[in-house]
Amino acid sequence: EAQVTQNPRYLITVTGKKLTVTCSQNMNHEYMSWYRQDPGLGLRQIYYSMNVEVTDKGDVPEGYKVSRKEKRNFPLILESPSPNQTSLYFCASSHDPGVGEQFFGPGTRLTVL
């Protein structure tokens, strides 16, 4: 089954404790992207990757890091989480985001205390 998987689905952590949210897709898509979703703000793009070893900032990259060492994986790293990073995070992948469908993962609910 074609899908995007994220882990963990739910995470409660404390300020400053490094964490990684994994994202994996099995559709051989070149493009992958991370978003955060907050009430009243829609989805905001954090980082995206056009292909392996190619990443670029979205609209809200501060406090986040990403890497794209393999085509299928695109982890999101929070080196020192803060409470304002409490949010619902989505990973997505696509063959071409301009004309093709973005497939979204199920989301990761992160709470930073």
Binding stretches for another protein (CB under 8 A): 4, 31, 33, 35, 40-45, 48, 50, 56, 58-59, 90, 92, 96-102, 104-107
- Least CB distance from residue 40 to another protein, whole Å? 6
The sign of the dihedral angle between the CA atoms of 91, 97, 103, 104 is positive
For another protein, give the closer residue by CB, 38 or 79.
38
Q: Which is nearer to another protein, 16 or 106 (CB)?
A: 106
Shortest CB 17 distance to another protein, Å: 26
**Least Å from the CB of residue 72 to another protein:** 18
Going by C-alpha positions, the residue among 48, 49, 46, 32 that lies closest to residue 87 is 46
- With beta carbons less than 8 A apart as the criterion, state whether 110 and 91 touch: no
Round to whole Å and give the CA distance between 74 and 111.
21
